Structures are given as C-alpha cells and as structure tokens.
Amino acid sequence: MSTKNIEELEREFQAKIDADIKIEPNDWMPEGYRKTLMRQISQHAHSEIVGMLPEGNWITRAPSLKRKAVLLAKVQDEAGHGLYLYSAAETLGLDREKSIDDLHSGKAKYSSIFNYPTLTWADMGTIGWLVDGAAIMNQVPLCRCSYGPYARAMVRVCKEESFHQRQGFEIVSLLANGTPEQKQMAQDSLNRFWWPALMMFGPNDDNSPNSAQSIKWKIKRSSNDELRQQFIDVTVAQAEMVGLTIPDKDLKWNEARGSYDFGTINWEEFNQVIQGNGPCNKERIDARRNAKENGAWVREAANAFAEKRKKKELTH
Amino acid sequence: MEYLTCNHMTTQEAFYSYIVRLGDDSLILGQRLSEWCGHGPVLEEDIALTNIALDLIGQTNNLYELAVSIENKGENIDQLAFLRLEKEYENLLLVEQPNVDFGYTIVRQFFFDVYRKLVFEALCNSTDERLAGIAEKSLKETKYHLKHSSEWVIRLGDGTEESHRRVQEAVNTLWKFTDELFFQDEVDQNVIELGLGVDNSNFKATWNSHVEHVLTEATLTIPTNSWQHTGGRKGIHTEYFGYLLSEMQYMQRAYPNMEW
Ligand SMILES: [Fe+2]
Ligand SMILES: [Fe+2]
Ligand SMILES: [Fe+2]
C-alpha cells in the first residue's frame, strides 16, 4: 500500500488549485485551508444573520406597502444566504450550533458594518446601495473561489445581492430627488454609512497578515485595498448621479491612476468596532442570543415530537 | 356599480367596507408577523413567518387596490393602510393581539388560517370577478399557511410539558376572540345578498370541527369559558392596537404627502 506523504498531497492540492480545479468536500485538503475557509464562510454566514437586524429594525415602520414588502423580502433573502453559507461551512465539518454559540460569546466575528444603527428610513436605501454594493465587490470574485460549495453558494448569493443593491439605490435616488427633508435624510444617511462601508473591505493590505496565503489558495481573489478602490470608483459616480456628496474632503480624481484618491480611514474606530465597542455590538448579539434562548423550548418541542412520532411508527 | 339600498347603506359602500375589512385583517396580521423578522426560534421559522407576512402584505395590496377602484374617495392604498384613525380600521381583534411568544403567534395564526381558508374558498365564487381572482390566489397561500400553523400547533401541543403548557395558555387566551370571526352586520348582509361576499355563518360548524380536530391531535383542549370579545369590525379595538398603529404609521404621519 502506498501512502502519499504530506508534501506530496500538498503539492497535488496546490497543482489542482493552480489549474483552477475546484476542491470538493471529500477531497484531501490541508488543515490550514479547511480552517481558514471554515472561519471565512461561517463569519460570512454570521454576517448575513446579524445583518438582518439593522434592516429588520425598519420593517414595521416602512413608509408604504410596497416598501414593506420589498424590505421583508430582502431581509428574508439575507436569512436564506445565512442558511446556504452555514450549509457550505458544514461540508467542511462546521458544527452550526457551536459556531452560533461562538458568535454569541463574541469569539466568532461578523461584518463590522452591522454594528452601526439604522436611524432613519434613508438607511434602508443606503444599506442596500453601499453595504450590499460592497458585499458584491467582495463576493463576485468569490464565485471563482477554489472551494466548490462556497463558490456555488456565492453565485446564487451575488445575484440576490445585486438585486438588493439596485433596490437600495432606487430608494436613495427617490429620496435624493424628493422633498428637502428627504434629500437631507439621504445625505445624513450617506454621511453616517460612507466610512463604515469602506471599512467593510478590512484592513489595509500591509496590515492583513492572512491575505497572501488566502490568495495563493484562491480563497480570496483580490486584495482588500484593490476591492476598496474599485468600490469607491464605482460609488462616487453613483452619488454624483443623484446629487449626494461623499463625506470626504480628500476625495479627488487621480488622472494618472485612473482612480479616486481618498482620505484616511479611521482604523482606530474600525478596531474598536471589531473588538465589540461599536455603537450596536451589544444590541446585535443580545438580539441573536435572545432569539436562540427564547426559541429553545420550541426546538425542544419539535425534537420531542419527532421522537414520539418515531416511536409510534415503530410500535405500529 | 348599481346602487341598491339595504338599510341606509348602498351596495357600493357595503362592498367597499367588506373588502377593506378583508384587507385590514391581512395588513394587521402581516404587521404583527413581521415583528418576528430576525428574531425567530430557528432560522427556518424566521423565513417561514416572514414568508407568511409577505403573503399577507401582498393580499393587503390587492384588496386595497380593489377597494379604491370600487369607491374612489381620492385615496390611494397607502393612505388606506397608513393614514386612517384607529376607529377606522375594522380588522378582527384576533389579528392585532401581540406575538407574546412563538406559541401565541402560532395559535393566533391557526385560528385565523382555518377561518381564512373557508372565506377564500367561498369567495372564489364571488359574483365580482376581481374579488374571485384575489381569493383564488390568496387561497393557495392560505392553504400553505394553514398547513404550517396546524403542524406547529400539533408539534407544540404534543411536544414537551413546557410547550404543551405554553400553547394551551395561548389557546385559552385567544379563544375569546374567535366568535368575532363570524361577526356579521349590514355590510355582510348587503354583500351576501348579491353574492359578492360570503355568509360566514355557514361555515362556523366547519371551523369548529376543524379546530377541534387539530387541537385534539395536539392533546390540547378548548376552554370551557365561553365569554367572547368583539369590537374590531366596529372599529373598537384592544389597547394593543394604538401602539401597533403608531409604529406602522410613523413615517406617513411624520412626513406627510411624500413619495417613498
Ligand atoms: Fe446577503
Ligand atoms: Fe453577503
Ligand atoms: Fe443583501
């Protein structure tokens, strides 16, 4: 019997990656690859679920029947994204309940953006426009991720995210072209969400220690700074289109680079939010933990009932 | 539309009120269910409750569209949904009751779904084609809602001791709002006469036996105290309703006459 040694396996694995052959759940993979992916996918799943809260906050106050329906459907899509992503992570051996408990204890992370409050209806537009917009920038490259189940989940998720982005932009443009109060509401919302949206791409490349390995494994396909720049270039044009002002006095078109130069991100704020000190970290986690705790009796009942039925079938 | 008179109400007025009441039931229950979004006991149920809320908001939309086309008072569907006074909403008291917990939410839904399925089945034969069309579409949705709520009533009733206790408490508390499902006044009499609406007194027995059947399977009992509360159909609500409205109407009240 010939057993391949670890180096051989790793070499073959990297060769597959380099040849753009997808890795599937039963294929051999390095432990580091499995762990990195599992962390990335579960964080993404948690982000989808926690991300339901800031928008869920406005469903009962949506200003029209149409907006209420669209927002309900959107938040429901995010729950669906959470479900596919948990399933994708389970193919790598994730224990969903344990991972959710890690989220509730603060051990597992999720996107920092959802720790900002939604204070006005305009935030429903801005979140779709900027947050789903940034998510698309991050996720479109992941449709080509080396891990099959994740790549396939991303294809489906990205389609819906781009739909959300368009709906969000529609809300924003309606407000921006509306009454003075509406325009002000849209501008205030952009002022609050612009910088946090830029932080969604993560630290600068020099401060992103795991990036190089992830790019080699094709778990990540572009660097944080590249994606951030791409996002800014696209979004500035959209803001101009509706007559809103990006709250960055250093924002300037750079002819030579063919991109916008922009101001310095407040990384101290980013780190604080990541560490749990953002404006809504506690509220978001409390809400998720309460949902789980208040639902415990329902899950127990469902299990007990299923057990009883199984026994009944056996005795019949 | 012809103007027949029964009592002091024209058919058009009666039909308008009848449709608005159906819409109000959908809207207020949809609003209640949407409070669950992001807080469900499991992700799959979060999605299921949101789905039902979404169907109900869709029904509201269709019913209000029909109402404003029957009697054009110069209002649009959002004015109907968001800008009436408390006493101008004529939904059932049952649907405005708070979520309390998943058990209450399911029992409220179950009582309503059994009733709604019977209503829509009958309305498929309405002499008004537009209403028959809405009923047909809504019936499909309601059958799914009823399947979902019945299954959960049984699971919770016959689950653990705790779930049995909680869901029985919900049945006991909400039972007093079930007679109102069969409320009738001149609005109903007018629309029944012309075959536009349904005579809900015809299916009270069916409702009772369906509910009893499911509750029995769930090892739950129907409360013996038969005192019943009504008022919703006359615009007299429970205390919970004002809070629901102030949240739901917030944007339209704070920023009047704007497009969203
Ligand atoms: Fe999503
Ligand atoms: Fe996402
Ligand atoms: Fe989204």
Q: For the segment B66-106, what is each residue's pLDDT rounded down to a tens digit?
A: 999 998 788 899 999 999 999 999 999 999 999 999 999 99
Q: Nearest Cα to B18, choosing from B193, B205, B206?
A: B193
- Say if residues A93 and A34 touch (Cβ distance below 8 Å): yes
DSSP state string for A189-214 = HHHHHHHHHHHTT-S-GGG-TTHHHH
The answer to whether B29 and B57 have CB atoms below 8 angstroms apart is: no
**Angstrom distance (rounded) from CA B260 to CA B256:** 11
Q: Using 50, 70 and 90 to split pLDDT, how confident is the model at A268?
A: very high
Which pLDDT score, from 0 to 100, does residue B7 have?
A: 57
The count of other CB atoms within 10 Å of the CB of residue B246 is 12
Contact yes or no for B126/B135 (Cβ under 8 A): yes
CA distances from B33 to A55, B53, B100, B112, B164 (A): 15, 6, 11, 13, 22
| Residues above pLDDT 90, as percent of chain A | 92
- List, in sequence order, the alpha helices (H) in B35-101: 43-70, 77-82, 93-96
User: What integer is the mean pLDDT of A103-110?
Assistant: 95
pLDDT at A175: 98
Looking at the DSSP bridge assignments, the partners of residue B5 are: B10
Mean pLDDT value across residues A80-93: 96
C-alpha dihedral (B122, B124, B126, B128), degrees to nearest 10? 160
Question: From the centroid of its chain, how far is CA A164?
Answer: 13
Asked whether B114 and B92 are in contact (CB, 8 A), the reply is: no
Give the mean pLDDT of B132-151.
Answer: 98
Q: What CA dihedral angle connects A261, A267, A268 and A273, to 10 degrees?
A: 130
Interacting residues of A108 by C-beta distance below 8 A, sequence separation 6+: A42, A43, A46, A99, A102
- Tens of pLDDT, residue by residue over A144-187, are 999 999 999 999 999 999 999 999 999 999 999 999 999 999 99
Condensed to tens digits (0 to 9), the pLDDT of residues A272-298 reads 999 999 999 999 999 999 999 999 999
pLDDT tens digits, B143-201: 999 999 999 999 999 999 999 999 999 999 999 999 999 999 999 999 999 999 999 99
With CB atoms and an 8 Å threshold, state whether A80 touches B47.
yes
The secondary structure element, H or E, covering residue B209 is helix B204-217
Cα-Cα end-to-end distance for chain B: 33
Question: A14-38 b/e with 16+ CB inside 10 Å = b?
Answer: eebbeeeebbeeeeebeeebeebbb
Task: Give the pLDDT band (50/70/90) at residue B37.
Answer: very high
Residue A188 has pLDDT above 60, yes or no: yes
B159 → closest Cβ in A59, A72, A305: A305
Closest CA to A50 of A292, A269, A276, A285: A285
Instruction: Work out the minimum CA distance from B241 to partner chain A, whole angstroms.
Output: 14
Q: What is the pLDDT of residues A10-19, one digit of tens each?
A: 999 999 999 9
HSE (side-chain half, CA atoms, 13 Å) at B23: 26
pLDDT digits (tens, 9 = 90+) for A22-37: 999 999 999 999 999 9
DSSP character for B74? S
- Judging contacts by C-beta atoms under 8 Å, the chain B residues touching residue A297 are 160, 162-163, 166
> Are B163 and A300 a contacting pair at CB < 8 A?
yes
Task: Name the pTM for this structure.
Answer: 0.95
| Mean pLDDT (whole number) for A56-79 | 98
pLDDT attached to residue A264: 97
pLDDT band at A211 (very low <50, low <70, confident <90, very high): confident
Neighbours of B209 (CB within 10 A): 11
Asked if residues B252 and B78 have their Cβ atoms less than 8 Å apart, the reply is yes
- The residue type at A275: Q
pLDDT at B1: 43
Task: For residues A204-210, give the mean pLDDT.
Answer: 83
Q: Pick the closest to residue A138 from A6, A40, A249, A276 (CA basis).
A: A40
- Candidates A171, A202, A201, A203; CA nearest to A189 is A171
Query: Residue A210: pLDDT band by 50, 70, 90 thresholds?
Result: confident
Pick the closest to residue B166 from B237, B105, B209, B104 (CA basis).
B104
Inform me whether the C-beta atom of residue A295 falls under 8 Å from chain B C-beta atoms: yes
The residue ranking higher by pLDDT, A67 or A313, is A67
How far apart CA B181 and CA B168 sit, in angstroms, is 20
Provide the pLDDT confidence category of residue A312 given band limits of 50, 70 and 90.
Answer: confident
Q: What span, in angstroms and rounded, lies between the C-alpha atoms of B164 and B85? A: 38
Q: Do B41 and A295 touch (CB under 8 A)?
A: yes
Left (φ > 0), alpha (ψ -120 to 50) or beta: where does B228 sit?
Answer: beta
- Report residue A50 as tokens: 């926690």
Chain A residues within an 8 Å CB radius of B26: none
CA of B132 to the centre of ligand 3 (A): 36
Cβ atoms A133, A167 nearer than 8 A? no
Residues of B in contact with A62 (CB under 8 A): 251
Q: How far apart are CA A238 and CA A241, in angstroms?
A: 5
Query: Which pLDDT does position A2 carry in this prediction?
Result: 58
**Which of A42, A64, A177, A184 is the best mutation test for B, with the most CBs of B within 10 A?**
A64
What's the confidence (pLDDT) of residue B167? 98
Question: Which residues of chain A does B260 touch, with a Cβ-Cβ cutoff of 8 Å?
Answer: 63-64, 67, 121, 171, 174
Q: What is the interface pTM, i.e. ipTM, of the complex?
A: 0.95
Distance from C-alpha of A37 to C-alpha of A183, rounded to nearest angstrom: 42
Please tell me if residue A68 touches chain B, with a CB cutoff of 8 Å.
Answer: yes
Give residue A98's pLDDT band: very low, low, confident or very high (50, 70, 90).
very high
The rounded Å distance from CA B20 to ligand 1 centre is 36
Amino acid at A61: R
Q: Which two tokens stand for residue B146?
A: 């009823």
Q: What is the mean pLDDT of chain B?
A: 95
Position B2 scores a pLDDT of 45
| Inter-chain touch B37–A64, beta carbons under 8 Å | no
Whose tokens are 């389609």? That residue is: A159
